Amino acid sequence: MSRDPVDDLVEEMKRMEQRSLGRSLPSVKKNCEMVEEDDSYFPILSLPDELIGEVFSFLSIEDRFKARVNKKLNEIELKSKYFVKSLKIGELSGAEMVDYVTNKKQYPYGKYRNEQEIIFDKEREYSSDSIRRISQNASIGQLSVKFDIQLNSINSKFHREIYDLTKNFDVDHLILDFQRHFVTEDVVNIINSSFFAEVTKKCKSLKLPFLSHSVTLTDLHELYEAMVAGSSKFRSLEMGIFASDFFEFLSLIGVTYRERKFFSNKDIQVFEDPAFPEELLEHLMYGLDLSDGYRHTYIFDGNVELWINYALMQESLGGEIKLRFHESQESLDNAKYGRNLVKMLW
């Protein structure tokens, strides 16, 4: 019986991964052993540790991993700090993994050199030690983590550990996704009040697929007030939220929504996007009445902008919201008047 060529490619990928520990930078050790017999090899291990550390700062994360099989390089790498503009952590399986390996051969550093990624095989078990080490050494511009959270997955413990580790990263922009449209017990345990508070104090922005039940509206309200007061370095939040929670949140920030109008004793401004959201345009063909309420809404409270997805204004099950702090008057004015928004009166 002939083997499936896809299976052959997957097996070859696994063998390549094992062999990679003996290639690239680890070959430096072998080179240095040969230097007395052949002066064509550069004795990099004889360089000062500080200079080797500088070399590390120019390497991809993948090459840094490979260097760890050498004891001296491992010790230097452990102390070496570095910056990564963008890092994606995720997983693939089957044909998707084969395609990834094929593309990796074509683009060994990714299509864009400043964007690095670590992709795990869904069918294999892993330890979180390597990601923990990255969290100790790296400063990251944008970190994106996306796993398929399943209680019966062989990697469910690994997934939880990685998500929990994200709060330890020195990262500006954090994006967490769970490949799920519903809240599982694992997600509730990961995205809790303490996690939310810690991440929003360290990061500048956070994107979540939805607000976990274990993050309270009080947590969200405290973050909002800190942004309005300008006492937080946090600048942007994007997440899904249930409609019932959203309208309660509006009440907490001093805004009431009634009969498709906003009321507040605060000095707020409310705008509406006159254009229909792209995802609704196709419904025009089927006679859907879009005359009222099917537009995104923007509430400005000081320098804070609250963007509200049209679905929430329909009091549906839920939708997206975005919080953004504008650091300058120019940015604030452009947000209000630079994109053809219509001011709503009440």
Given a cut of 90, whether residue 10 has pLDDT beyond it is: no
pLDDT of residue 214: 77
Task: Categorise residue 10: left if φ over 0, alpha if ψ from -120 to 50, beta otherwise.
Answer: alpha
Given a cut of 70, whether residue 9 has pLDDT beyond it is: no
Residue count (the chain): 346
Q: pLDDT for 244-257, tens place per residue? A: 899 999 999 999 98
For the purposes of burial, counting CB atoms within 10 Å of the CB of 72, is it exposed (0-12), middle (13-18) or buried (19 or more)? middle
- Would you give the DSSP letter of residue 276? P
Given a cut of 60, whether residue 286 has pLDDT beyond it is: no
pLDDT bracket for residue 144 (50, 70, 90): very high
Share of the chain above pLDDT 90, in %: 35
pLDDT of residue 172: 97
Q: What are phi and psi of 307, to 5 degrees?
A: -95, 130
pTM of the model: 0.78
pLDDT of residue 329: 96
pLDDT of residue 307: 95
Q: pLDDT for 213-227, tens place per residue? A: 778 899 999 999 999
To which residue do tokens 């942004």 refer?
A: 227
Third-level CATH fold of 81-215: Rossmann fold (3.40.50)
Q: Give the least confident one: 139-153, 181-195, 297-311, 318-332.
A: 181-195
pLDDT of residue 315: 66
For the purposes of burial, counting CB atoms within 10 Å of the CB of 55, is it exposed (0-12), middle (13-18) or buried (19 or more)? middle
pLDDT of residue 35: 39
pLDDT of residue 85: 93
Q: pLDDT for 175-210, tens place per residue? A: 998 866 455 566 667 788 999 999 999 999 999 888
Task: Categorise residue 306: left if φ over 0, alpha if ψ from -120 to 50, beta otherwise.
Answer: beta
| Sequence ranges of the chain with CATH classification 3.40.50 | 81-215
Given a cut of 90, whether residue 333 has pLDDT beyond it is: yes
